[in-house]
Structure formats: structure tokens, C-alpha cells
Structure 1
Amino acid sequence: MDQARLFLETQPLFTLFLTVALGYIVGEINVRGVCLGSGAVLFVGLALGAFAPKSAPPALLGTLGLLLFLYGIGIQYGAQFFRGLTSPMGIKANAAACAGVLASGLVAWALVPLTHIRLADALGMFAGTGTSTASLQATIATLKNNDAAVGYSVTYPIGVAGPILFLFALKVLLKPRIDAPKAKLIDMAEIALRNPAFVGLKLHDLTTRLPQGLAIAAVRRQHHNQLPDGDLVLQKDDVLLATATDPEVLRETAARCGEIQPGRMMSHREDLDYMRVFASSALVVGMPLRDLRYPDGVSCAIAHVRRGDVDLLPNPDIVLESGDRVGVLANRAHMEAIRAFFGDSIKGTADLSFICLGIGAAAGLLAGAIKLPLPGTGGFSLGLAALLILALCLGKIRRSGPFVWVMPLSANLVLRNLGLTIFLAQVGISCGPKFVDTVGAAGPLLLLYGVIVLLVLVGVTALLAMAVFKLPFDTSVGVLCGATGNPGILAFGNRIAPTDRPDLMYAMIFPSMTIVKVLFAQLAISLAGS
């Protein structure tokens, strides 16, 4: 055993990656639908750190890991975050989650004078019950020690399992009826123009009179298919290739315009043919469809955009993301030029700009180093919370001239999950010895206090979301998931509320609540020091 301990202490990188591997093995263990996921890396790190006290990698490595995690979150969820700050439902959702987070933080803070626990333990419990790694990092950095990791590690399992049990109880108690939405897939129909009221109109004037959720992909006239020019004056017997994600919209359009004909347009491809390309070129990624500038002499029409498992109608405001699959109608002679324009590279959808990553991260760290005044405390700095805020702004902007701030989803997931894992492993190994000493003496009490803090968090959030703001059940589930933070909770929320609202609310709530948790931890330490 002594030789194994000595080897771990002389090979900190080996210890780090052994922690990662064993942590994910433990995290996959499923107990009645609950598993720790990446959070298990922390517990394995605590065990190895207790066994080999001098095996911890440098703290800078853990900070780098968290930086990558927060930057990836901000870049991905920037647009949803700012939308949540302005929409009526988003404001209500953020208010409910913020009240719950602050209430739980105040309860944790009040436990310091009431129970005589250390401030580090209280803030560690606050971070653990809220599964907020960023809040833990802020506490560690401000206190300049790893004491908070003990309270975090003791209460983290409660922070994962507790909200899942709470959501399960809500579902059983309320028995909400939630119909799973149908998959949004493109349907099409060829509609012959027979209505005299529409003959002689320009195509863009006709589209304003048709049902919403419909797009015209092509027009067939005198046995020839052509692109949908908005200034085209329509004639009787013109055939419109209409697309929609709702078949009822197509039927209503056919009833207004004329009748649905057999599929002649798709069987005659000498004028226009269909192809699907990957959006991977820097010329198109981060650009709205309205701003695309095709090569000289090349003309085409976008029939739809497939993002993940969802088809999107070609709206001028749609901003292309790396990895989008774009359905294009064009003459075959233009297809090679169109492929080159969009990039059409699967490999390219996993690339990211390290120039933009470096600039964004450096600017965020610089902003985080600026000390902000706070009366009575001497001031405080945002630290990595400033980096998250900047990343959210860049995620909303998407690109600035040649700089494409967004990154492909696949690359983003790998980057931030790797960063989070490295941070958890480093923190766990470094505080392993303290964890053993503290848990033996105060573990059960910290566990009890953690339950109290968690119940305040989920109880206040649910009460405001559902009883005060009257948000629908699936929306409230997303708010609770965003307030508590762990992706495993969101996965369970998607099972009990199988709509897109839990994901949407999580994207709106999680970044802002991460900032609130970080700022609360820093302010609590500043005020305690004063």
C-alpha cells in the first residue's frame, strides 16, 4: 500500500486521469433512476486524496477546467439567456428561480450563527445542494482554501437526488396531463393555383395571405421549375411547392389557393434539384439566412434547415449553426459551388476557432480581475462569473466580422465536459484529507442542514412558479431544473414532462442562476469579513 501511495503522490497527472476514469465508472451506477454522473468524479477524488494526501495536481489545472466549462455554457446558451431576460415568461421564470436560490443561500448563511458551523461549510452546502461547481470555485478562490469542498461533497448527492424526488412527488400529487409534442418534420405539397383572387399577385404578396408556418420552396410554370422570386407575378395554373411542419397548414393553403396535384415537381429535376449540405464554412456559420451572399452567378433556395432532430422552415431570421443540415433547391450546374460555399464538411462541424476561444477567455479573465466597489466590504471581483457573463454576450452576438464566437455543439460538449471533469477531479484530490477528518465529526449534521437548504430552494421556486406566476407544469419543471442546475435533473424532468419547454427553460435559467450563486457566495464572504 505504501508503494501505491508513493506512486500516486509522485505521478499527479496519472492520479488525475485515474480519478476521471474511476469517477465515470461509479457515476454510471444507477440506483432507482438516480445516478451521480460526472459528480462521482469528486467522490473518487476525495477517496484517492485521502489515501495519497500529496497527489493533488496544481490548482491552476482545476481553474482551467472550470474556465472551459463556463465558457462553453455561455457560448451555447447566450441567445436563450438574453431572451429569458426580456420575454414575460422568461422574466417570471428567472424571478421564481432567483427567489429560490437567494432564499436557500440566506438559510445556509443563517446556519452559521445558529449552529456555529463554519462559513466555508455553509457556502459549501449552498453550492452542493445547488450542484453549482462555479459557486464552489468562487468560494474556494475567495477564502483561499479548499474547506468549502467538504460541505459541497457531503451535500452534492442531496442536490442531485433531492430535486428528482421532489419532481416525482409533484408529478404524482398534481397528475398533470402533458401530451408529448409531435416531431417537427417537413411535409410538402404541390398546390395548383386556381383561385382568381390570387392570380396576378406577386409571390411575396401571396405569402402574406397564406397561413403562418408555410413556406414556398419553388414554383412550376409551363413544365419548368423555378426558384421562388418574391417579385414573380403569379399566373393561373402555376404550381407552388409548399412546405410546412403541420400537414393541416398545407391542407388549408390548398383549400384557399386551388388543389393539390400529384408530385410532378419532384420527379422533374432538370431545372431544379434537391441536395442537403452541412453548414461548416465560416462564411455561413453565425449568419442569418437573409445575410447569405452566394457566389456570383449562383442562385438557390433554402427549403429547410435541419438542426439536431428538428426541421426548421426557412425564416430570414434563422442564424445558421455549425452542423446544421441545409436543404437546398438549385440547378445541378450550381451544386458544387453551393457545396463549397456552405462547407459541407462533417469534420468541419467539430472544429472550433482557438483564436476566438483565446480572445474570449482572456477578455473574460481580465473583466473578472477588476475590483468592484461594495460599501462596507472594500469591494469584490467577479472572477470567473465575469467570464461567464462575457461568454453569454458572445453567444448572443455569435460573430463579429471574421470572428465566429460560437462553436459546434459537439466540440462545445466535449470541451466543457472535459473542463468540468478536470476541475472536479483536482478539487476532490486536493481536499481528500480534510474531507475524512471533517465528515467523521460533522458529516451527519451537514447532511441534515443540506436537506433543509435544498427544501427551501425547490420549495420556494416551485411555489412561485406554479402558484404565484401560474406557469404550466412543464415550464415549471424546466425552471426547477435550471435553479438546481445538474443536467441529470433535467434528464429526469424531460421524462416526466416530454415537451421542449424543460430544455428551453433550463437554457434560460441555468446561466443566470449560476451567476446569482457565484455572486451570493462572494458577497456572503465579503460581508462576513467586514
Structure 2
Amino acid sequence: MSEWFVGTLRNYPELAIFLSLAIGFSIGSRKIAGFSLGNVTATLLAAVVIGQLGITISPNVKSAFFILFIFAIGYGVGPQFMSGLTKEGPKQIGFSLVVLALCLIVPILCARIAGLDLGYTAGLYAGSQTISASIGVASDQISRLGLSPEQVKTYNDQIPIGYAVTYIFGTIGSAIILAQLGPKLIGVDLAKACKDYEAQMGGGDGLEAGLTSAYRQIELRAYRVGNDPSIVGQPVKQIWPGLRVFVERLRRGGAIIDADASTVLAPGDIVAISGRREHIVETITPMLEEVQDRELLDVPAEAIDIFVTNRKVGGLTLLELSETDWARGVYLRKITRNMVEIPALPGTQILRGDILTLVGGRRHMELAIQHLGYADRPVEATDIAFLGAGIVLGGFVGALSYTIGGIPISLSTSGGALLAGLVLGWLRTIRPVFGRIPGPALWLMNTLGLNVFIAVVGITAGPGFVAGLKAVGLSLFLWGAIATAVPMILSVYIGFYVFKFHPAILFGACAGARTTTAALGMIQEAAKSKIPALGYGMPYAIGNTVLTIYGMVIVLLNS
């Protein structure tokens, strides 16, 4: 039975890849003492074990899935990377670049002091900085150094060893430093800082939250208008100033009429009013007689994800948007930026590329879509022609090579695909009628592309993995811990004392620059708030790109 099993995996290596995924994803999400290996590391370790069986896989499989993954990364962060500047954008960019410089310099110094070979150095960098994408870029550059096939294989087999040994502390250590140690280093109470920042942004109990009213339960109720002079005889927009409650439509003389801001109410009208439940209950109900009118309340409504593309909207706060005419009757449920939900507060700025989940009457929603961007309605189809052409175009650009000092240098096909993804993802914010890649499809490209690549790396390196781990394991782990901790600790001090970030968003910015979403989750848990995510978006977009390219830089500086 065992011989048949091993023989089948050797004859059909594609099964070994999917077996690695099945095992990796089964154990990767399991938490022990609040921590987990993560799917990528678990898949790598599973693949290494399976690789002990001596399975041969074409390197083209690894390259194909990695280039799919790297294009998806670029496409996902492109809108924020290319044009997502908030009022603090330049400061966040400057901070990110300083932190990213530390993320390159410190691992290089650690590797040189430890006397590590090139492959271990690239692996230590990838694991300690938790940037799996750099593995593929580093491997591509190593193959272009003009080394013998044997030496190329040796270095490429060292990379996953260095990555596996250093990645666990890279993830867990970063989370602990930013969520637990970081606030103590600068003497702040993170939970209190987030509450204070939320108050500055217009949040908190008892304050009008503009469009953030949609973050709470929305009511639509019917009322009979009496003879109250404060209600009849004037436009509805003047009746309840400061409250986001709207007369959606009214029944007058048996006819149902759609209302707008200029509609004037008359005694005997039956009106359908929408708004936050507390406003309806505390303000409207005491003033008007509530009645049952099912036909009047049967207002066509929908909830839609809207992809923000209008440059006039980018940089405006939710409060500013809530005061526009087209925001009438429209409520916000959530904001998603770089696949992370961010707090919806009156002072939250909207960027091109954000996804706003809105709910409201159909006629109001259509008007909001015209002013915001593109209705990202659920679809199953992906623009495969766009996907294929984008990867090919980027690959051709990346394949261009320049020789400097006898060393050929290029972006590589994967680096070119990343660049293409960035540009095309940004272009879609300008003209969203092309390049449709639904969120679930983008997630699959990202997750499957990376993990198939990692599985092939692990299976290929499997035979030499154990011996390499015995040779450099403990030393590599310790140097990896230093390479992780030093940039993160310094980033806290630099962000707080040099760039003057508010503590509420400082740790989110640190996590974003290092692209460690796991750390962001732990920071938010420690803060008891989603506020830290407001500092995550821009640094994440920059970090994901620069840290990946550093995979090539690491090889060039150590070859």
C-alpha cells in the first residue's frame, strides 16, 4: 500500500502539490496559545515532508503560479499605491520608506555577521520580514547570476530553509512587539489612545456620524402629518437640520409620490421616513403619529459594494460626503481598503480604490453610484483576457536585462508582472469597465498562486532540508529574531517621535509597512478598536511592493 502511494505521488507530482495544500491548510489555521503557523508556513513544512519521497516537479509549475500570485498582489494594492494619497499621505510614504530601509539593512547585517550563504540570506530576509513573495523574485535573480546549475540549486534549496526557520518568529514576534511591547516603549495606553482618536474623528456615543449612520440599524417608518407649523409648509430638508433622516416618499390624496429635499409637506400626508433607529424613535415618533401603510413602505432598496473611482471624491471625509445632495437616503455599512475593513467615522477619508458597502433606496443608490464610481455588483466572471494580457505584458517588460559590473540585472518576469498589476489595478479606478476581477477570484489567485509556489519549493528542497536545518537551525533562528525585532522596535520610536503619528494609527502603520496582517489583528484586539487599520492601507500598499522587489536587491548585494 505504501509503495503504491509513494509511486503514485512520484508518477503524478501534481497530486503531491495538492496534498501539501490539503495538509497545510488543515493545520495552518489551528491556534495554540493564540498563535498559528499560518497557511503558507504550514504548506511549506508539509511539502518538505512530502519532498523526502524524492518527487520531481517541473520548475515551470512554480513559475506559472508565482507570476499569477504576484500579478494579483499588484492589482490589489495598485489603487492605493499609485493614487491613494490622504492628507497624511506624504508622511505615511516617508515613514514607510524609512521602515522598509531598516527591513533591508538589518537582515543583510545579520546575515553577514552570521556568515550565511546567499540562499540562507534570502530566506532569512523573506521569513524575518514575512514577505513570502520575495522568495520567487530572489530565486529568479539567482538563476540570472551566471552560476553553475549545481550552485543555483544549492542556493535555491537554502531559501526555504531560511524562510521556514525565521518566519514563525517573524509573524509572532512582530505581533507581540507591535501589540504588546510597542505601546509600553512609548508609554501610551493603546485602548485609550484609540478612543481619543475616535472622538477627534467625530465618533463616539451621542455624536452625529454622518454617513456612518449606516453602520447602525436603519429604519423606515410611516407617519401621518398633522398641523405642526414646524413641519408643514417648508422643504423637508429644513425640518430636521443636523439629522440624517429623509422623507423617502409620501401618500397624498391616494397617490404615492417620490419625495426629494425640496418636497413640502401638507396636513394629512402620510410620509415614509428613513434614518438611524435612535433618530426615528427619539425625534420623529414623538412629533408625528405612526401609521401602518405597507404599500407606502414598500420602497425598492438594495445593498451594493461601490468601487470608488471618482478623483473628486478621493480625500474627502465621510462627513463631507454626507453633506452632498446625492448622499440623500444613502447609508454606509462598511469600508474595505486593501481587503481590510477600516473604521467608518465622520473624519475617515475615502480613497480611490476603496470599496464602500452602501444601502438605500434604488433611486438614491443609482445617483450615489454616478458620483462615487462603479457598482461592484456580485459577478462570477473574471476578465481572463485582461489577466493573461497583463501578465504577458509585464513579463516581457521584466524580461529585459541590463548588465552592470558583469552581473545581469532585470525586474524578472515576476517583477514585471507585479509592475503590470500595479499599473492596471490603478487604471481600473479611472476606467472600471475593463479588467474585472471579482474579490473572491482575486483572493483565490493570491492564495492559490502563492501556496502552490511554496509547495513546489518545499517539495523540491525536501531532500536537503533536514541536513540544512541541522547545520544552521538555531543560529539562523536567533539571527532571524534579531532581523525581525530591530526594525519593528525602531519603527515605533521613529513613527512616534520623528513622524509624530498619533499612537492610535502608529502601530497600524508599522504593521502595514511590514505587510503583517496578523499583527494588525492582534493590535486591534489589544486596542479593542478597529482604529489602527486607518494607518495600515498606504504603508501596506508600499510595503507589499518594495519588500517584494527587495528579494532581488538582497541577491545583488550579496552575490
Question: In the alignment, which of 251, 261, 278 is matched to residue 288 of structure 2?
Answer: 261
What is the deviation of 1:479? 1.8
Aligned to 1:164: 175
* Alignment partners' CA distance in 1, 2:519 and 2:390: 30
Structure 1 residues 90-489: aligned runs within 5 Å? 90-144=89-143, 145=152, 146=156, 147-166=158-177, 167-171=179-183, 174-176=188-190, 177=192, 178-179=194-195, 184-188=215-219, 210-211=241-242, 214=244, 216=246, 218-220=248-250, 222=252, 225-229=256-260, 232=262, 234=264, 247=278, 260-264=287-291, 267-268=292-293, 270=295, 273-277=298-302, 279=304, 303-304=330-331, 306=333, 326-329=359-362, 348-371=378-401, 379-381=409-411, 383-398=413-428, 403-489=433-519
CA contact (8 A) 1:189 1:250 kept: no
Q: Secondary structure at the match of 1:405?
A: coil
2:393 and 2:290 map into 1 onto residues whose CA distance is 55
Deviation at 1:140, TM superposition (A): 0.9
CA distance in 1: counterparts of 2:297 and 2:447, whole angstroms: 43
> Identity over aligned residues, as a percent?
21
Q: Is the 8 A contact 2:330 2:358 kept in 1?
A: no
Determine if contact 1:74/1:395 at 8 Å carries over to the other structure: yes
**C-alpha distance in structure 1 between counterparts of 2:236 and 2:309, whole Å:** 28
How far 1:391 moved relative to its partner?
Answer: 2.5
- Return the offset for 1:128: 0.6
SS in 2 for 1:214: coil
Q: 1:142 Cα shift?
A: 0.6
Q: Give 1:475 deviation, angstroms.
A: 1.5
TM-superposed CA distance for 1:382, in Å, is 5.5
Check the 8 A contact 2:48/2:458 in 1, yes or no. yes
| Per-residue CA distance 1:81-119 (angstroms, 9 max, x = gap) | 4455x2243433343333223213112223454332213
Deviations 1:251-298 (A, max 9, x none): 7xx69xx9843445xx43546732344659xxx87777x99xxxxxxx
User: Which secondary structure state, in structure 2, belongs to the residue aligned with residue 8 of structure 1?
Assistant: helix
Partner of 2:542: 512
Q: 1:68 to 1:305 in 2, by over 3 A?
A: farther
Letter of the 1:163 partner, please give it. S
**SS of 1:220's equivalent?**
strand
Does residue 61 (structure 1) correspond to residue 58 (structure 2)? The answer is no
The Cα of 1:157 is off from its aligned counterpart by 0.9
Cα distance in 1, alignment partners of residues 507 and 358 from structure 2: 31
Q: Using the alignment, how far apart are the partners of 1:493 and 1:106 within structure 2? A: 25
Distance (whole Å) between structure 2 residues aligned to residue 327 and residue 474 of structure 1: 32
Contact kept, 8 Å, 2:83 with 2:426, in 1: the verdict is: no
* Superposed displacement of residue 450, structure 1: 0.5
How has the CA–CA distance of structure 1 residues 319 and 101 changed in structure 2, closer, same or farther, with 3 Å as cutoff?
closer
- Deviating more after overlay: 411-420 vs 366-375: 366-375
Q: Distance in 2 between matches of 1:467 and 1:496?
A: 22
SS in 1 for 2:35: coil
Provide, for residues 134-159 of structure 1, a one-character-per-residue CA deviation record: whole Å limited to 9, x for no partner. Answer: 11111111102413222112111111
Number of corresponding residues: 490
The answer to whether the 8 A contact 2:309-2:353 is kept is yes
CA contact (8 A) 2:43 2:451 kept: yes
CA distance in 2, matches of 1:240, 1:129: 61
Q: Take 1:157 and 1:318, find their aligned partners in 2: how far apart are those partners?
A: 33
Pair 1:186–1:481, CA change in 2 (3 A): same
Amino acid of the structure 1 residue aligned with 2:46:
V
Q: For residue 448 of structure 1, what is the amino acid of its counterpart?
A: L
User: What residue identity is the alignment partner of 1:91?
Assistant: P
The answer as to whether partners of 2:79 and 2:353 remain within 8 angstroms in 1 is: no
Question: Aligned with 2:34: secondary structure?
Answer: coil
TM-score (norm: length of structure 2) = 0.73
Partners of 2:244 and 2:550 in 1: CA distance: 47
**Partner amino acid, structure 1, of 2:455:** A
2:72 corresponds to which residue? 72
CA distance in 2, matches of 1:321, 1:241: 31
Report the TM-score when normalising by structure 1.
Answer: 0.76
**2:530 is the counterpart of 1:500:** yes
Deviation at 1:320? Answer: 11
Tell me how far apart the structure 2 counterparts of residues 493 and 387 of structure 1 sit (CA, whole Å): 32
Deviation, structure 1 residue 483? 2.8
How big is the shift at 1:431?
Answer: 1.4
CA displacement, residues 342-374 of structure 1 (integer Å, 9 cap, x when unaligned)? 9998xx544433233223333333333344787
The whole-number CA distance in structure 2 between the counterparts of 1:393 and 1:286 is 17
Give the partner amino acid of 2:118. Answer: L
Answer yes or no: is the 8 Å Cα contact 1:279–1:322 preserved in 2. Answer: no
**DSSP 3-state at the match of 1:431:** helix
| Contact 2:248/2:274 (<8 A) preserved | no
In structure 1, distance between residues paired with 2:228 and 2:266: 6
**Which stretches in structure 1 are left out of the alignment for 5+ residues?**
292-300, 332-341
Aligned 8 A contact 1:395 1:406 in 2: no
Counterpart in the other structure of 1:29: 30
SS at match of 2:536: helix
Distance 2:270 2:353 in 1: 29
Q: Distance in 1 between matches of 2:509 and 2:354?
A: 26
